[in-house]
Amino acid sequence: MSIIGWIIIGGVAGWLASLIMGTSGRQGCITNIVLGIVGALVGGIIWGMISGDDFVAEFSIGTLLVATLGAVVILAIYRALTGARPA
């Protein structure tokens, strides 16, 4: 997947995760993209540990779900460490 693809998937996954976790009002576009890309890496690691498969490197709904799951995990850890509450 190209860097443009990673940015698009990252933005969508970060935005979905921020909606799920209730942080959408405090995050900007760049934060959503970074959160989604890092979430894709974390989600890929989690998926690899659960299924034994390698991380999916092409766009699919599964890729988006894994990236969103990873971003939700990151937001949950951030919230637990900082005590931040949804707005």
Domain of residue 77, residue span = 3-82
Look at residue 86 in the predicted model and tell me its pLDDT: 60
Q: How many domains does the chain have?
A: 1
In a domain, 25, yes or no: yes
Please indicate, yes or no, if residue 29 is contained in any of the structural domains.
yes
Q: What pLDDT was estimated at residue 29?
A: 80
Q: Is residue 21 part of a domain?
A: yes
pLDDT at res. 39: 84
Rounded Cα distance between 72 and 32, Å, is 11
DSSP of 27-74, one letter per residue?
--HHHHHHHHHHHHHHHHHHHHHHH-PPPP-S--HHHHHHHHHHHHHH
d(C-alpha 38, C-alpha 41), whole Å: 5
pLDDT for residue 14:
86
Instruction: Rank 13-17, 24-28, 37-41, 57-61 by mean pLDDT and report only the highest.
Output: 13-17
Q: Render pLDDT for 41-58 as a digit per residue (tens, 0 to 9).
A: 888 788 778 877 765 566
Q: Is residue 14 part of a domain?
A: yes
Is 80 exceeded by the pLDDT of residue 21? yes
pLDDT in tens, 63-83: 888 888 888 988 888 888 877
Quote the CA–CA distance of 36 and 24 in Å, as a whole number.
13
Q: What is the pLDDT of residue 56?
A: 56
Tell which residue, 67, 69, 71, 45, has the closest CA to residue 58: 67
Of 66, 10, 21, the residue nearest 43 (C-alpha): 66
